[in-house]
Amino acid sequence: MRIGVDKLNRLEGQHCFICGKPLLSHRIDDLAYIPVIKGGSVKAKPERYYLFQCPSCNKIGHKRCWYDVADRPVGGGIIFGPKGREMKCPACGYLIAPLRKEWVEWIRGYQIPGHPDEELFEIWVGDVNSYKAGAFISKIGAAIGGLFRAVKLGSLTASEKSAVSEAAQRVGKSFSDLSQQVFRLDVSQQDRQALRDLRCMHCSAPLPSPGQFDDAIVCQHCGTAHLLK
């Protein structure tokens, strides 16, 4: 069951009970493969990963974590090898899959026995990226009055005018082309790195994404400068 962008907020702040990492994050190893009868391994496209919830204690973890930790060989010895494999919940001990002989490797499209991927929570990487970008911009928008402050172009310091002038040049404008109203955005350095899809405070046109060391960006449409420091 695909969890769309509009419902990913329900997983926000939750962590995989096995590896401890957020459910809305993944490793390369978490990405799903599709079952194939013969030939090489095939990754699922678009890129996605799955979450599985224990039917007994309801704890949620990455499907790959269940594969790595919960689906284990049983019995046997050095000479004869294991009798088979079974899956138990690492938290409550619930038997999810009884002893079985057959086992499929991850890159061959592993499925949790009795719980095919269609029943699991399906997370598309692109959806997560869209959700995180939207959540950040929503946070900016919700506190817009406290983050943006309109000032006059003439009130800027020499260093601020220099930063604005450089930003103007990046979009093919000169300092004289700029609007007399400037918007100052006060965010932490960490949050600034997450700025994506920002729009002009004057005309709402998309703004260029700021580089790591940029202190200003200028709207290519109307010439309004936005200070980031």
- Edge to edge, the sheet with strand 60-62 lists 60-62, 48-53, 121-124
Q: Are residues 113 and 9 in the same domain?
A: yes
> Is residue 59, in this structure, part of any structural domain at all?
yes
Q: Domain of 91?
A: 5-127
> Distance from first CA to last CA of the chain, Å, rounded?
43
Q: Are residues 50 and 117 in the same domain?
A: yes
Tens place of pLDDT per residue across the chain (229 aa): 899 888 888 898 899 999 999 999 999 999 999 888 777 789 999 999 999 999 999 999 999 999 999 999 887 666 666 788 999 999 999 999 999 988 889 999 999 999 999 999 999 998 888 787 766 555 544 444 445 667 788 888 888 888 888 888 888 888 888 878 787 766 555 555 555 557 777 777 788 877 766 778 888 888 888 877 6
CA 204-209-215 angle, 5° bins:
100
How many other CB atoms are there within 10 angstroms of residue 95's CB atom? 11
Q: Are residues 121 and 152 in the same domain?
A: no
Cis ω for the linkage preceding 55 (within 30 of 0): no
Contact call for residues 217 and 206 (beta carbons, < 8 A): no
Residue type, 195: L
Q: Are residues 54 and 151 in the same domain?
A: no
> Is residue 138, in this structure, part of any structural domain at all?
no
What is the rounded CA–CA span in Å between residue 161 and residue 206? 22
Single pTM value for the model = 0.59
> Is residue 201, in this structure, part of any structural domain at all?
yes
Please compute Rg for the chain using Cα positions: 25
> Is residue 189, in this structure, part of any structural domain at all?
yes
